[in-house]
Amino acid sequence: MRSETGELKMSTETKKQTLEELMTEQNRIALAREQREAREYAERQAAAEEAKLQQAAKLHQKLLRDKNEAQKKFGDQRACAHLKGIGAHDQNMTLYNLYSHQLPDGSVFIRCRNRCGFMWLAGDTRETIVRNGQTLPNPTRWSYEDAYSHLPK
């Protein structure tokens, strides 16, 4: 039906139907958006969990590698005789490949020049050494005084 102005008149029933269709369409769009956002959130959470697991695995590998390196170094230090190589000196002489060094703060250490590179600090005993506040077993079984007595004169 046309009104006096020429516009089509819609019945109230048609308007209601159209309004219901619009509301249904809006609800469908909102539901789709919520589902998409929930899916994206779940994907982000899964990615964050995966990253956390990868970080934990990486840390575990690093700790394991450091532990293996420390055990190898400990074994090298235990097996080292701290002697100079054979060749230029008399075979009857025992020459140790050690040196001492005094730091600017006045502390003195003795170090092996061989592959073991063990460092004795004042206070090290034959049984234990103290490093970074931790008491550890002494792999060389030499105290600081023993190492000092074997320094070249």
Percent of the chain with pLDDT over 90: 67
Contact 97, 112 (CB under 8 A): yes
Q: At 115, is the pLDDT very low, low, confident or very high (cuts 50, 70, 90)? A: confident
pLDDT over 90 (residue 102): yes
Which has more confidence, 99 or 89? Answer: 99
Q: At 153, is the pLDDT very low, low, confident or very high (cuts 50, 70, 90)? A: confident
- The residue-averaged pLDDT of 17-24 equals 84
CA dist 133 and 139 (Å) reads: 17
**Alpha-helical segments (H) within the chain:** 12-79, 144-149
What pLDDT does 69 receive? 93
Which has more confidence, 4 or 125? Answer: 125
Encoded tokens for 32:
């789709």
Burial class of residue 12 (count of CB atoms within 10 Å of its CB; 0-12, 13-18, 19+): exposed
* pTM reported for the whole predicted model: 0.59
Strand partners, 136: 129
Angle at 85 between CA 91 and CA 152, to 5 degrees: 80
pLDDT over 80 (residue 35): yes
CA dist 141 and 125 (Å) reads: 8
Residue whose token pair is 């097996």 = 79
Q: At 57, is the pLDDT very low, low, confident or very high (cuts 50, 70, 90)? A: very high
